[in-house]
């Protein structure tokens, strides 16, 4: 089966959910016009990755008024799943006949965990159905200030008309059991969602493709200094040029032998596309199949 996949490399309207959703709808239409049947967005694209956690000092200082106000804005602009935003995303996927992978800040508004934010990946079918929800298992370092931990029940690929699709978020790609769980679920296409795909993130994405014998769409976003939340200016580590990029994109599409099929592209908004052929997966499994002839379950069983 051959089809075109797209990694959307763009900046959202940071901490503005309504404006970011409108931009997403436009970008989905543009990707579909380029022939894409799978459209992938970067980590927490709605309403933007919290790069201020790394770019500003003292964000972990107890009782910081400025940081608490930014967190409130983030929570107010996060996505309830399911809810009006997921309905709009599903409608966009259906209208353009694409499978859509969108990463968001999720806010729980009812029941256990009410008020908690999660780093969440959403997969929509081309009929608009919300097929899969994955919450990041372990927020990394300062990310633990804002996100809860996922429960891991979502570590599985999902059947779609274009093959089995799965995904991991950022540093989940450095978690061997998480990778193996997804490999065992039979991924054909893997989404690697990153804030931006810097060198080590590209290395992880290529390794994942080679190890899992699957195609990988590695999506990274753009963010300029001017996009940092208002009120944090005094906490900036460097008084940089407002146009300087904190997140530089670097999106890439990778084949099941680790070969880069498209990208990486840095420092510009682009919809990166490549045609993939799922038959290539079987060819590469001849040499390595970590869930088949290379698995050795007789050795690597439960401890």
Catalytic residue ranges = 43
Which position has the token pair 């972990």?
60
Burial of residue 93, with CB atoms counted within 10 A of its CB: 0-12 exposed, 13-18 middle, 19 or more buried: buried
Q: Among candidates 276, 275, 217, 271, which has minimal Cα distance to 31?
A: 271
d(CA 270, CA 250): 10
d(CA 99, CA 217): 13
d(CA 197, CA 213): 20
Distances (CA, A) of 189 to 60, 162, 174, 244, 259: 37, 9, 18, 33, 14
Q: DSSP character for 105?
A: E
Q: DSSP character for 252?
A: E
CA atoms within 13 A on the CB side of 44: 29
Residues counted in the chain: 303
- Structural tokens at position 20: 């970011």
Q: DSSP character for 80?
A: -
């Amino acid at each position: 089966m051959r089809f075109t996949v797209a990694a959307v490399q763009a900046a959202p309207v940071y901490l503005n959910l309504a404006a970011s959703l409108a931009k997403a709808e436009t970008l989905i239409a543009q990707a579909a016009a380029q022939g894409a049947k799978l459209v992938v967005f970067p980590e927490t694209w709605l309403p933007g990755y919290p790069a201020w956690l790394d770019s500003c000092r003292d964000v972990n200082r107890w009782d910081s008024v400025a940081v608490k106000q930014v967190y409130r804005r983030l929570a107010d602009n996060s996505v309830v799943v399911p809810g009006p935003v997921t309905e709009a995303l599903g409608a966009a996927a259906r209208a353009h006949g694409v499978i859509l992978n969108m990463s968001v800040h999720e806010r729980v508004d009812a029941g256990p965990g009410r008020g908690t934010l999660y780093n969440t990946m959403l997969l929509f079918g081309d009929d608009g159905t919300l097929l899969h929800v994955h919450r990041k298992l372990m927020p990394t370092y300062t990310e633990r200030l804002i996100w809860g931990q996922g429960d891991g029940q979502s570590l599985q690929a999902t059947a779609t008309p274009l093959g089995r699709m799965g995904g991991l978020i950022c540093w989940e790609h450095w978690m061997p059991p998480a990778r193996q769980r997804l490999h065992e679920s039979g991924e054909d296409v893997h989404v690697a969602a990153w804030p931006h795909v810097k060198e080590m993130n590209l290395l992880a994405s290529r390794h994942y493709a080679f190890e899992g014998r699957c195609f990988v769409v590695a999506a990274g976003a753009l963010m300029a200094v001017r996009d940092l939340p208002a009120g944090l200016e005094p906490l900036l580590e460097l008084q940089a040029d407002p146009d300087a990029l904190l997140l530089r994109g670097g999106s890439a599409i990778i084949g099941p032998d680790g070969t880069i099929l498209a990208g990486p592209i840095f420092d510009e908004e682009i919809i990166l596309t490549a045609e993939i052929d799922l038959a290539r997966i079987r060819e590469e499994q001849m040499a390595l199949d970590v869930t088949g002839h290379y698995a050795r379950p007789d050795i690597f069983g439960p401890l």
